[in-house]
Structure 1
Amino acid sequence: MLLRLRVSLPDRPGGLGQVARALGALGADILQVTVLERETGRAVDDFTVSWPGTATPASVREKLSAVPGMRVEGVWPTREVPGSAPDYDLLLHVATEPARGLATMVDALPSLCGGDWALALADGVVRHASPAAPPAFGLEELPLRAASHVAGEHRLMVLPVASTAMHVVVARSEGPPFHRAELERASRIVEVVSRMAARFEPVAD
């Protein structure tokens, strides 16, 4: 099975090798590594791994937590395909059919961001929702800038669409809250797609 692991470890030479050895000893195959943070003497990295058998996120966390100096911040199933370029695939689809740009983006964001579902919300109404998203959704306060929230069992990423009253929400039920690096990436995707789509909005008579 494919899993995504988020680990925090001392930022020093050999740190990534230590994680790789630990994963190899447990039988996991590292498919992709994403560096999220290098601050305050620690590193935060996401690993996409192929894990043999029927490992559960809880059992993976337990095994890795035994490595000295390592903190496991999250383990969750993923649908991402390591080595692919989903950002570019999304932009190509939007360029081909820009009038559906926002809907195409909402459908793609869960896979792009390691989420379960996404939706576009405006004036309290769901304008478009990906599969598995709820038909109705609301937040007490919508941020002016991209923000990460935890609401009940869901980790949320809330992304305002510039020059509109719309917000895009991405959610996942497993794993850690969305990291600021994830917020920045998703914000840029929303900005680019919304600008492309806006150029093809019908003009009122």
Structure 2
Amino acid sequence: MLLRIRVRLPDRPGSLGQVARTLGAAGADVVQMAVLERANGRALDDFTVSWPAGADAGRLRGGLGSVPGVDVVGVWPTAEPHGVFPDAAVIGQVAAVPERGAEILADAVPAILSADWAGLAETGPDGTAVLVHASVGGLEGAEPPALEPLRPRAFTAPDGAEYAICPMPGNGALVVSRAGAPPFHQTEVLRLEQLAGAAAAVLSAGLLRTP
């Protein structure tokens, strides 16, 4: 199984290697790492690791917590996106099957952003929204939390679930959710916005297959 681990650590030489060695000593195999932010001598990094199914992830928290200056922000399950460059692969799939382009995007986003599910929501004149399509884990026809203001952003719902949203053409929005995980970082919201923008541009530009 794959886990996403978000840690805050000192932004100095050797800190990253120490975290990687600690993960390895605990039995995790690092398959990906991303820097989310660097400021005031601290960095916020996401590690994707391969972890034995059923093993207690507490070993990871305990090991990382013993490293001076390292704070564990969150550990949660994730899935491996398809392709070496998943963002580009998704846009290619959107162009290949344009009649399902928006749904393909929503179905692919959870793996890309380590989320539980994603969906397409339509908003009405009164501001209420309903999911007209949901990926595995979501519930089509359900009402997501209030999406206003409808702009790229992240927020925490009253039930504690984390959300990221991005407007789609028309009165729609791309909604992404996860529970038991840290809030969506601004870089994740930006990635969602770029994916939605690229998909919309491909479809509106008529870059579709000819019969």
Note the C-alpha offset of 1:132: 1.6
Secondary structure of 1:171's aligned partner = strand
- Measured in 1, the distance between the counterparts of 2:39 and 2:98 equals 39
Does residue 120 in structure 1 map to residue 113 in structure 2?
Answer: no
Name 1:95's counterpart in structure 2: 95
Secondary structure of 1:31's aligned partner = strand
Q: What is the letter of the counterpart of residue 151 of structure 2? A: R
Name 2:136's counterpart in structure 1: 131
Cα shift readout 1:4-43 (whole Å, capped 9, x = no counterpart): 1000001111110110121122122111111111112100
| Identity value in percent | 43
Matching of residues 1-205 of structure 1 within 5 Å: 1-52=1-52, 54-81=54-81, 84-123=84-123, 124-135=129-140, 136-151=142-157, 152-161=159-168, 163-199=169-205
Cα shift readout 1:95-142 (whole Å, capped 9, x = no counterpart): 111222111101111111111111111122322111221231232342
**Cα distance 1:104–1:52, how it changes in 2: closer, same or farther (>3 A)?**
closer
- Measured in 2, the distance between the counterparts of 1:52 and 1:139 equals 35
- Measured in 1, the distance between the counterparts of 2:92 and 2:109 equals 14
After TM superposition, the runs of 4+ consecutive aligned structure 1 residues lying more than 6 A away are none
Secondary structure of 2:17's aligned partner = helix
Unaligned runs of 5+ in 1: 201-205
Q: What is the letter of the counterpart of residue 65 of structure 1? A: G
Q: What is the letter of the counterpart of residue 74 of structure 1? A: G
Unaligned runs of 5+ in 2: 124-128, 207-211
Name 2:209's counterpart in structure 1: none
- Measured in 1, the distance between the counterparts of 2:48 and 2:86 equals 15
Cα shift readout 1:34-80 (whole Å, capped 9, x = no counterpart): 11111121001111111246333444223321211000011011111
Secondary structure of 2:13's aligned partner = coil
Cα shift readout 1:135-168 (whole Å, capped 9, x = no counterpart): 312323423321111111311111112x521111
- Measured in 2, the distance between the counterparts of 1:158 and 1:58 equals 31
TM-score (norm 2): 0.86
TM-score (norm 1): 0.89
- Measured in 1, the distance between the counterparts of 2:57 and 2:151 equals 32
Q: What is the letter of the counterpart of residue 38 of structure 1? A: R
Q: What is the letter of the counterpart of residue 180 of structure 1? A: Q
Contact 2:119/2:133, CA 8 A, preserved across alignment: yes
Contact 1:158/1:170, CA 8 A, preserved across alignment: yes
Query: Number of residues paired by the alignment?
Result: 199
Q: What is the letter of the counterpart of residue 134 of structure 1? A: L
